[in-house]
Structure 1
Amino acid sequence: MRSFDFTPYRRSTVGFDRLFDLLENNRSQADNYPPFDLERLSEDRYRITIALAGFKRDEIDITAQQNLLLVKGSKEQAGQDRSQYLHVGIANRSFERRFELADFVRVSGADLADGLLTIDLVREVPDAMKPQKITIGGSATVEQIDDHRDAA
Protein backbone atom coordinates (compact mmCIF):
# COMPACT_ATOMS: atom_id res chain seq x y z
CA MET A 1 0.00 0.00 0.00
CA ARG A 2 1.26 3.45 -0.92
CA SER A 3 1.81 6.08 1.73
CA PHE A 4 1.77 9.83 1.24
CA ASP A 5 3.76 12.27 3.39
CA PHE A 6 1.64 15.25 4.47
CA THR A 7 4.48 16.95 6.40
CA PRO A 8 4.99 19.84 3.92
CA TYR A 9 1.26 20.60 4.03
CA ARG A 10 1.14 20.41 7.84
CA ARG A 11 3.81 23.10 8.04
CA SER A 12 1.88 25.57 5.89
CA THR A 13 -1.62 25.12 7.29
CA VAL A 14 -3.23 25.97 10.59
CA GLY A 15 -6.12 24.08 12.13
CA PHE A 16 -6.23 21.19 9.67
CA ASP A 17 -4.66 18.62 12.00
CA ARG A 18 -7.86 16.60 12.25
CA LEU A 19 -8.14 16.38 8.46
CA PHE A 20 -4.54 15.21 8.04
CA ASP A 21 -4.95 12.69 10.85
CA LEU A 22 -8.00 11.28 9.07
CA LEU A 23 -6.11 11.00 5.78
CA GLU A 24 -3.05 9.39 7.38
CA ASN A 25 -5.04 6.95 9.51
CA ASN A 26 -7.61 6.08 6.85
CA ARG A 27 -8.01 2.35 7.06
CA SER A 28 -10.55 0.80 4.75
CA GLN A 29 -13.08 -1.24 6.66
CA ALA A 30 -12.69 -4.93 5.97
CA ASP A 31 -16.38 -5.42 6.67
CA ASN A 32 -18.71 -3.56 4.32
CA TYR A 33 -21.83 -4.56 6.20
CA PRO A 34 -24.34 -3.02 6.10
CA PRO A 35 -24.17 -1.41 2.65
CA PHE A 36 -25.06 2.28 2.43
CA ASP A 37 -25.60 5.13 -0.03
CA LEU A 38 -24.56 8.72 0.57
CA GLU A 39 -26.31 11.38 -1.49
CA ARG A 40 -26.23 15.15 -1.71
CA LEU A 41 -29.76 16.55 -1.86
CA SER A 42 -28.77 20.21 -2.11
CA GLU A 43 -25.82 22.42 -1.27
CA ASP A 44 -26.36 22.03 2.49
CA ARG A 45 -28.45 18.84 2.75
CA TYR A 46 -27.30 15.23 2.65
CA ARG A 47 -28.86 11.80 3.15
CA ILE A 48 -27.35 8.50 4.25
CA THR A 49 -29.39 5.41 3.32
CA ILE A 50 -28.40 2.14 5.00
CA ALA A 51 -29.82 -1.25 3.94
CA LEU A 52 -30.99 -2.98 7.13
CA ALA A 53 -33.11 -5.92 6.07
CA GLY A 54 -34.66 -7.68 9.05
CA PHE A 55 -33.89 -4.97 11.64
CA LYS A 56 -36.62 -3.42 13.79
CA ARG A 57 -36.61 0.15 15.09
CA ASP A 58 -35.75 -0.92 18.64
CA GLU A 59 -32.70 -2.85 17.39
CA ILE A 60 -31.06 0.25 15.89
CA ASP A 61 -29.25 2.96 17.84
CA ILE A 62 -28.19 6.25 16.21
CA THR A 63 -25.81 8.53 18.13
CA ALA A 64 -24.65 11.91 16.87
CA GLN A 65 -21.60 13.43 18.53
CA GLN A 66 -19.40 16.28 17.46
CA ASN A 67 -18.09 15.34 13.99
CA LEU A 68 -19.20 11.70 14.34
CA LEU A 69 -22.36 9.78 13.52
CA LEU A 70 -22.53 6.26 14.94
CA VAL A 71 -25.14 3.76 13.79
CA LYS A 72 -25.36 0.47 15.70
CA GLY A 73 -27.59 -2.49 15.11
CA SER A 74 -28.03 -5.26 17.67
CA LYS A 75 -29.61 -8.56 16.72
CA GLU A 76 -30.44 -11.10 19.37
CA GLN A 77 -29.19 -14.51 18.32
CA ALA A 78 -30.86 -16.35 21.20
CA GLY A 79 -34.01 -18.21 20.33
CA GLN A 80 -33.37 -18.32 16.58
CA ASP A 81 -33.14 -21.87 15.28
CA ARG A 82 -31.23 -21.66 12.01
CA SER A 83 -30.71 -25.41 11.70
CA GLN A 84 -33.61 -25.76 9.24
CA TYR A 85 -32.22 -23.26 6.73
CA LEU A 86 -30.69 -24.72 3.57
CA HIS A 87 -29.08 -21.40 2.64
CA VAL A 88 -28.57 -18.25 4.72
CA GLY A 89 -27.91 -15.25 2.49
CA ILE A 90 -29.53 -12.49 4.53
CA ALA A 91 -27.02 -11.12 7.01
CA ASN A 92 -28.53 -11.28 10.45
CA ARG A 93 -25.76 -9.94 12.64
CA SER A 94 -24.98 -6.94 14.77
CA PHE A 95 -23.03 -4.06 13.26
CA GLU A 96 -21.49 -0.68 13.97
CA ARG A 97 -21.02 1.90 11.21
CA ARG A 98 -19.21 5.23 11.78
CA PHE A 99 -19.50 8.34 9.63
CA GLU A 100 -17.15 11.31 10.06
CA LEU A 101 -19.12 14.55 9.84
CA ALA A 102 -17.82 17.94 8.82
CA ASP A 103 -18.10 20.92 11.14
CA PHE A 104 -21.62 22.33 11.55
CA VAL A 105 -23.31 19.20 10.14
CA ARG A 106 -26.15 17.92 12.28
CA VAL A 107 -28.71 15.13 11.99
CA SER A 108 -32.12 16.55 11.10
CA GLY A 109 -34.05 13.28 11.12
CA ALA A 110 -34.06 9.51 10.66
CA ASP A 111 -36.62 6.99 9.44
CA LEU A 112 -36.79 3.24 8.88
CA ALA A 113 -39.05 1.99 6.10
CA ASP A 114 -38.98 -1.05 3.83
CA GLY A 115 -35.64 -2.23 5.25
CA LEU A 116 -33.92 1.09 4.54
CA LEU A 117 -32.74 3.43 7.27
CA THR A 118 -32.54 7.02 6.02
CA ILE A 119 -30.65 9.63 8.00
CA ASP A 120 -31.00 13.25 6.88
CA LEU A 121 -28.16 15.66 7.55
CA VAL A 122 -28.02 19.42 7.23
CA ARG A 123 -25.05 21.78 7.32
CA GLU A 124 -25.82 24.96 9.23
CA VAL A 125 -22.94 27.39 9.41
CA PRO A 126 -23.51 30.00 12.14
CA ASP A 127 -23.71 33.61 10.96
CA ALA A 128 -20.59 34.43 12.98
CA MET A 129 -18.62 31.88 10.93
CA LYS A 130 -19.80 33.04 7.48
CA PRO A 131 -17.51 35.30 5.44
CA GLN A 132 -18.02 38.99 6.06
CA LYS A 133 -17.13 42.00 3.94
CA ILE A 134 -15.17 44.58 5.89
CA THR A 135 -15.42 48.13 4.56
CA ILE A 136 -12.36 50.33 4.72
CA GLY A 137 -12.94 53.70 6.25
CA GLY A 138 -14.19 55.42 9.36
CA SER A 139 -17.36 53.32 9.70
CA ALA A 140 -17.31 49.95 11.45
CA THR A 141 -20.04 48.43 9.27
CA VAL A 142 -19.77 44.80 8.27
CA GLU A 143 -21.82 43.21 5.49
CA GLN A 144 -22.67 39.53 5.29
CA ILE A 145 -21.43 37.96 2.04
CA ASP A 146 -23.95 35.73 0.31
CA ASP A 147 -22.39 32.25 0.14
CA HIS A 148 -24.46 31.26 -2.91
CA ARG A 149 -22.66 32.79 -5.87
CA ASP A 150 -24.49 33.37 -9.13
CA ALA A 151 -23.21 31.56 -12.21
CA ALA A 152 -23.19 34.78 -14.26
Structure 2
Amino acid sequence: MARLVENARAAADGPSYPPYNIEKTGEDSYVLTMAVAGFGPDDIEVTAHDNTLTVAGKAAPAAPQDNGRVLYRGIAGRAFERRFVLADHIVIEGAQLEHGLLHVALKRQVPEALKPRRIEIQAPKSQRVLESEAPQAQAA
Protein backbone atom coordinates (compact mmCIF):
# COMPACT_ATOMS: atom_id res chain seq x y z
CA MET A 1 0.00 0.00 0.00
CA ALA A 2 2.94 2.29 0.64
CA ARG A 3 3.83 2.02 -3.05
CA LEU A 4 0.33 3.17 -3.99
CA VAL A 5 0.61 6.25 -1.79
CA GLU A 6 4.15 6.98 -3.00
CA ASN A 7 3.04 6.77 -6.63
CA ALA A 8 0.21 9.15 -5.82
CA ARG A 9 2.69 11.67 -4.41
CA ALA A 10 5.02 11.30 -7.39
CA ALA A 11 2.14 11.82 -9.79
CA ALA A 12 1.09 15.01 -8.01
CA ASP A 13 3.30 17.01 -10.35
CA GLY A 14 1.95 15.22 -13.42
CA PRO A 15 -1.57 14.96 -14.83
CA SER A 16 -4.21 15.27 -12.15
CA TYR A 17 -7.37 14.21 -13.94
CA PRO A 18 -9.45 12.79 -12.48
CA PRO A 19 -8.64 13.77 -8.91
CA TYR A 20 -8.66 10.99 -6.31
CA ASN A 21 -8.25 10.21 -2.61
CA ILE A 22 -6.86 7.14 -0.89
CA GLU A 23 -8.33 6.38 2.53
CA LYS A 24 -7.45 3.77 5.11
CA THR A 25 -10.76 2.36 6.35
CA GLY A 26 -9.48 -0.46 8.57
CA GLU A 27 -6.33 -2.26 9.64
CA ASP A 28 -5.90 -3.88 6.20
CA SER A 29 -8.57 -2.15 4.10
CA TYR A 30 -8.46 0.92 1.90
CA VAL A 31 -10.73 2.85 -0.47
CA LEU A 32 -9.61 4.65 -3.61
CA THR A 33 -12.15 7.37 -4.46
CA MET A 34 -12.04 9.10 -7.85
CA ALA A 35 -14.13 12.10 -8.94
CA VAL A 36 -15.65 11.00 -12.25
CA ALA A 37 -18.63 13.33 -12.66
CA GLY A 38 -20.30 12.94 -16.02
CA PHE A 39 -19.30 9.29 -16.44
CA GLY A 40 -21.69 6.37 -15.98
CA PRO A 41 -20.94 2.76 -15.08
CA ASP A 42 -20.76 1.83 -18.76
CA ASP A 43 -18.19 4.59 -19.43
CA ILE A 44 -15.67 3.41 -16.81
CA GLU A 45 -13.51 0.28 -16.86
CA VAL A 46 -11.65 -0.94 -13.77
CA THR A 47 -9.08 -3.69 -14.36
CA ALA A 48 -6.45 -5.36 -12.23
CA HIS A 49 -3.50 -7.13 -13.80
CA ASP A 50 -0.54 -8.35 -11.73
CA ASN A 51 0.08 -5.52 -9.25
CA THR A 52 -1.44 -2.76 -11.39
CA LEU A 53 -4.91 -1.27 -11.01
CA THR A 54 -6.08 0.63 -14.11
CA VAL A 55 -9.12 2.90 -14.13
CA ALA A 56 -10.09 4.15 -17.59
CA GLY A 57 -12.97 6.35 -18.69
CA LYS A 58 -14.29 6.58 -22.21
CA ALA A 59 -14.96 10.07 -23.51
CA ALA A 60 -18.57 10.99 -23.11
CA PRO A 61 -20.38 11.27 -26.42
CA ALA A 62 -20.55 14.81 -27.76
CA ALA A 63 -23.66 16.44 -26.40
CA PRO A 64 -26.05 17.91 -28.93
CA GLN A 65 -26.14 21.66 -29.05
CA ASP A 66 -27.81 22.96 -25.93
CA ASN A 67 -29.41 25.83 -27.84
CA GLY A 68 -27.05 28.22 -26.08
CA ARG A 69 -28.15 27.17 -22.57
CA VAL A 70 -24.67 26.12 -21.40
CA LEU A 71 -22.67 29.26 -20.67
CA TYR A 72 -19.66 27.54 -19.14
CA ARG A 73 -18.60 23.88 -19.31
CA GLY A 74 -16.36 23.13 -16.32
CA ILE A 75 -17.18 19.46 -15.87
CA ALA A 76 -14.65 17.59 -17.95
CA GLY A 77 -15.90 14.79 -20.13
CA ARG A 78 -12.60 13.79 -21.68
CA ALA A 79 -11.23 10.27 -21.69
CA PHE A 80 -8.77 9.32 -18.98
CA GLU A 81 -6.64 6.45 -17.77
CA ARG A 82 -5.05 6.27 -14.32
CA ARG A 83 -2.71 3.47 -13.27
CA PHE A 84 -1.88 2.56 -9.70
CA VAL A 85 0.90 0.15 -8.76
CA LEU A 86 -0.40 -1.89 -5.85
CA ALA A 87 1.69 -3.33 -3.06
CA ASP A 88 2.01 -7.10 -2.77
CA HIS A 89 -1.07 -8.97 -1.53
CA ILE A 90 -3.51 -6.13 -2.26
CA VAL A 91 -6.75 -7.40 -3.80
CA ILE A 92 -9.61 -5.41 -5.30
CA GLU A 93 -12.82 -6.23 -3.47
CA GLY A 94 -15.16 -4.24 -5.70
CA ALA A 95 -16.06 -0.89 -7.23
CA GLN A 96 -19.10 1.31 -6.83
CA LEU A 97 -20.15 4.50 -8.65
CA GLU A 98 -22.19 6.85 -6.50
CA HIS A 99 -22.95 10.56 -6.92
CA GLY A 100 -20.14 11.07 -9.44
CA LEU A 101 -17.56 9.32 -7.25
CA LEU A 102 -16.02 5.96 -8.07
CA HIS A 103 -15.12 4.00 -4.93
CA VAL A 104 -12.71 1.08 -5.36
CA ALA A 105 -12.39 -1.12 -2.26
CA LEU A 106 -8.92 -2.58 -1.66
CA LYS A 107 -7.84 -5.10 0.96
CA ARG A 108 -4.46 -6.43 2.01
CA GLN A 109 -4.63 -10.23 2.27
CA VAL A 110 -1.33 -11.78 3.28
CA PRO A 111 -1.37 -15.59 2.92
CA GLU A 112 -1.06 -17.48 6.20
CA ALA A 113 2.24 -19.02 5.06
CA LEU A 114 3.79 -15.53 4.77
CA LYS A 115 2.46 -14.10 8.04
CA PRO A 116 4.86 -13.98 10.98
CA ARG A 117 4.11 -16.60 13.60
CA ARG A 118 5.21 -16.95 17.18
CA ILE A 119 7.49 -19.88 17.98
CA GLU A 120 7.24 -21.19 21.53
CA ILE A 121 10.58 -21.64 23.27
CA GLN A 122 10.91 -24.96 25.10
CA ALA A 123 12.89 -25.25 28.30
CA PRO A 124 15.30 -28.18 28.64
CA LYS A 125 13.89 -31.22 30.53
CA SER A 126 16.39 -30.85 33.37
CA GLN A 127 15.03 -27.39 34.23
CA ARG A 128 11.43 -28.63 34.19
CA VAL A 129 12.27 -31.26 36.85
CA LEU A 130 13.94 -28.71 39.07
CA GLU A 131 10.99 -26.36 38.79
CA SER A 132 8.55 -29.08 39.80
CA GLU A 133 10.67 -30.07 42.82
CA ALA A 134 11.05 -26.49 44.02
CA PRO A 135 7.60 -26.19 45.65
CA GLN A 136 8.13 -29.49 47.51
CA ALA A 137 11.45 -28.29 48.92
CA GLN A 138 9.83 -25.07 50.21
CA ALA A 139 7.02 -27.02 51.89
CA ALA A 140 9.50 -29.11 53.89
TM-score normalised to structure 2 length: 0.71
Could you say if the C-alpha distance between residues 77 and 51 of structure 1 is closer, same or farther in structure 2, counting changes exceeding 3 Å?
same
Change (3 A) 1:83 1:102: farther
Larger CA deviation: 125-134 vs 46-55: 125-134
> 1:6 — aligned with what?
none
CA deviations over 1:2-24 (Å, ceiling 9, x no partner): xxxxxxxxxxxxxxxxx7xx88x
Specify the alignment match of 2:118 in structure 1: 133
**2:45 paired with 1:64:** no
1:116 is aligned with what amino acid? L
> Which AA in structure 2 matches 1:120?
A
Name the one with the larger helix percent: 2
* Aligned twin of 1:116: 101
CA RMSD of aligned residues (A): 2.4
Cα distance in 2 for partners of 1:135, 1:42 equals 30
CA positional deviation for 1:29: 5.0
Q: Structure 2 unaligned segments of length 5 or more: list them.
A: 123-140
The CA deviation at 1:136 is: 6.0
Residues 1-150 of structure 1: pairs in structure 2 closer than 5 A: 26=10, 28=12, 30-78=14-62, 80-81=64-65, 84=68, 85-135=70-120
Percent of aligned positions with the same letter in both sequences? 43
Count of aligned pairs between the two proteins: 115
Q: Compared with structure 1, are the counterparts of its residues 63 and 88 closer, same or farther at alpha carbon in structure 2 (3 Å cutoff)?
A: same
Q: Which structure has the larger Rg?
A: 2
What whole-Å deviation, never above 9, does each CA across 1:15-61 have from its counterpart, x for those lacking one? xxxx7xx88xx565522011111100011000011111110100000
